[in-house]
Amino acid sequence: MTASFQCNPLASSSSDVEEEYEETERRLLSLSSELVSLNCDMMIHLQVIEDKSNFFRTCSPPLEWKPSSTCQCLEGAKEPSCNSRREASYNYQQR
């Protein structure tokens, strides 16, 4: 029985280490996922900044800045998914 008694504290300690490892791994995966999401959001913000910078640098019509595309970050995506925005001009004369 003495050998069994000596192994139990080691088994308990090993179980605690394994549990802590699994919890740390879950947290790491969660934080990694959050980081990917934040990075994707930052790419959208940088694109808007670049678009606005180009708009104000040229100082030409249209008089109001409008985004050139709409973007969103899909879950787990490393880069945003964007759709270009094109506005049709209806300033033509009908004959």
Cis ω on the peptide bond leading into residue 62 (within 30° of 0)?
yes
Q: For residue 2, which phi and psi values (nearest 5 degrees)?
A: -65, -40
* Predicted local confidence at residue 35, as pLDDT: 96
Contact 74, 37 (CB under 8 A): no
Task: Provide the whole-model pTM.
Answer: 0.66
DSSP per-residue string spanning 3-66: HHHHHHHHHHHHHHHHHHHHHHHHHHHHHHHHHHHHHHHHHHHHHHHHHHHHHHHHT-SSSS--
pLDDT for residue 85: 73
What is residue 94's predicted lDDT score, i.e. its pLDDT? 40
54-89: b or e for each residue (b if 16 or more CB lie within 10 Å)? ebeeeeeeeeeeeeeeebebeeeeeebeeeeeeeee
**Residue ranges, the chain, pLDDT below 70:** 1-12, 60-62, 86-95
